[in-house]
Structure 1
């Protein structure tokens, strides 16, 4: 005979069932951006931040994120329930978002599939505080034992995992666009090989599919750093971007200067494609003299923090720097124009034209200031030109030198603490600038999608070219002194001021 039993639901059992139901509901609703928040924590915030001002019946606030009706202050910003829930999910689960457009997507309540990357960035810009979200509360994500201990070491994925993910930069050609975004959980994380500290990283090949072309710099990847979120604005470069603007400005001015020296017609200046011509020693000398005045303005206005340096130290640094820029830039421009072909022996000269190493004597022909046989002048300068072509340009070609890498080298040539006579305050500024240049270079490499070991290798390869460049400048300086000694031609003013300076 069966004995009837009566199920007694104690308050403890009821509370446990409610918690399980809330957890399952939150998983189902996290797939939709505009879903209602799962718990009261999504509305108020993890630290119990109640709205400081509740609108009266006659007053109606607007969500500063999607412009829907706001019901109060969430994480420091007036927003609707859906945007508050979205922000809390993103921070708590450390989700990665990527914009498919140019990080300029419109965020409105009418858009059901609005861009998550732009939506989260707008939350940050409108004042939502990441620090107001506690990481370990009920209602979001699956509850697993020891989950918090496993995810504390979460770090961004790298090129070791097939698809590179730049820390705060645009995707590269190897990056895939997300087809459907997943929230990470411990089961999807792999322990990093060779690590004894329990680091984990997400398998990006399960998240991304359908390869996409290279995106512009406006695209942003929002990815968690090692232990907490850091807004992308804090990861911006401080020196190299402005130097790049100044360098482009300098190239534009130099092109106009070359046209002036060559007496080009208006029609020639508006030609859609610039035609390279053979260079001449006389015109190169004139351009070099004018160039010294142009570079002073560019360095002072664009090469931060040069404008803040003491006047006397400015003069010392610039005198040491100018001939480095003048001669090294010829090599870089030659690499940009002719670098694709290892057999091309043409080199760009100061007047914007070119010379052929095999016909170097033509460069000194029909020049009024050349007093000796052009072949004698070519004999003196051919070893230095050959070194530039076969060593420096070849090195640039091998490492595929970019503008930002080149400008990092130029910055190191400018900021040399070994220049005699510098004040201690200037030397301190030089060391601080060195640190920032390398930080900028590291961020630049991250934006290109390179992982840690690759960044180390590329930085080392970049530093190896500096002694070669310095040697080439020294060789040319010695050649000018030799030409002046044997009265082959008179040395121009820009190299007369460059006497005993060496790269230190």
Structure 2
């Protein structure tokens, strides 16, 4: 089993100053002691020290280093060669590390494997290759309701800090996130399949945007208006979605890593109704770290100027994504008021922004 850092719970880099710790906490402790840094906590000296937020409070991080048994005398012994040690390790990094987004990517790939089981047609043999088909709104919503718990588990496994939020704060973030993630992932599928005339779903099936009547078709025949009339009233939302999300993502050919970075930024949104001050502060810190990793990833593939422009283009998708999600939710509200076509109440609540 991988040993964990006793300070921030990242994978340990071995025993340093008497304790199993990661390289980041080793360097932090050495700098603090060797240079006699003094820190002050802006809170009440009870800040959480985790790998994703360990830079938020140096005071609490140093206090925890001492609490788990890291010995200051170990640094003092080698203080005269501290500068030389630093000088030896200034070699350029060949492969930059993106700990937050790499973990998100690893778990997303695992999520895709789980989806194949969850969305499998049980009436067909597991050896028969799934054939994608267009879904109506009832079938689509059924897919998204199954997805909600999968997405929540994916987030909990990807961000250790998320599990520390109180239940009400998790709900605030997830409720704001889920519909936007559904739309953003649809744009990602469009990039992977190089198609925007249909919207792929996590199940492998799709919504036929060029034939919206098929989406509004009610197989049970319970709707008071026809699929054609429902399409005239509501299908323009798909055009809004394609213009604001799908087309910009396809234009710049966002890859999976970049799509996941935008998803993470959407999750850790700030200024939401019901969001606590402490939640806002953590989300701001997470967003800064995510944007830093995303910029580093862009610079790895492009020049400094091109990477800055690309980052700006990607971030400009986020307000457009909110606009598209809000439009879809307004359609659901209107359809409920008019009793035009029924939308599952649970999915309606998940789509609130």
User: Same-fold call, TM > 0.5?
Assistant: yes
Between the aligned partners of 1:309 and 1:369, the Cα distance in structure 2 is: 44
**Residue 474 in structure 1 maps to residue 326 in structure 2:** yes
Between the aligned partners of 1:134 and 1:489, the Cα distance in structure 2 is: 66
1:100-499 map, 5 Å:
131-132=83-84, 229=90, 232=93, 235-260=96-121, 263-268=123-128, 271=129, 274-339=130-195, 345-349=197-201, 351-368=203-220, 371=223, 372-448=225-301, 450-498=302-350
Distance 1:457 1:392, change over 3 A: same
Per-residue deviation, 1:412? 1.4
Tell me what 2:19 maps to.
Answer: none
What SS does the aligned partner of 2:119 have?
Answer: helix
Tell me what 2:43 maps to.
Answer: none
Conserved? CA contact 1:279–1:354, under 8 Å: yes
What SS does the aligned partner of 1:420 have?
Answer: coil
Structure 1, unaligned runs of 5 or more: 1-128, 136-223
Conserved? CA contact 1:313–1:426, under 8 Å: yes
Per-residue deviation, 1:283? 2.1
Between the aligned partners of 2:324 and 2:184, the Cα distance in structure 1 is: 8
Conserved? CA contact 1:237–1:439, under 8 Å: no
What SS does the aligned partner of 1:478 have?
Answer: helix
Between the aligned partners of 2:86 and 2:277, the Cα distance in structure 1 is: 47
Higher RCO, 1 vs 2 (CA within 8 Å, ≥6 residues apart)? 2
Distance 1:132 1:453, change over 3 A: same
TM-score by length of 2: 0.69
RMSD value, Cα: 2.8
Q: Per-residue CA shift, 1:245-285, capped at 9, x if unaligned?
A: 2222222222322214x7432222xx3xx532222333222
Per-residue deviation, 1:478? 0.8
Q: Per-residue CA shift, 1:140-167, capped at 9, x if unaligned?
A: xxxxxxxxxxxxxxxxxxxxxxxxxxxx
Between the aligned partners of 1:246 and 1:252, the Cα distance in structure 2 is: 10
Per-residue deviation, 1:304? 4.4
Per-residue deviation, 1:376? 2.0
Tell me what 2:69 maps to.
Answer: none
- The structure with the larger Rg is 1
Instruction: Name whichever of 329-338 and 492-501 sits farther off.
Output: 492-501
Structure 2, unaligned runs of 5 or more: 1-80
Distance 1:370 1:400, change over 3 A: farther
The structure with more helix, counted as a fraction of residues: 2
Per-residue deviation, 1:486? 1.6
Per-residue deviation, 1:452? 1.4
Between the aligned partners of 2:332 and 2:244, the Cα distance in structure 1 is: 21
Distance 1:419 1:491, change over 3 A: same
Conserved? CA contact 2:175–2:352, under 8 Å: no
Conserved? CA contact 2:244–2:317, under 8 Å: no
What SS does the aligned partner of 1:265 have?
Answer: coil
Per-residue deviation, 1:130? 9.6
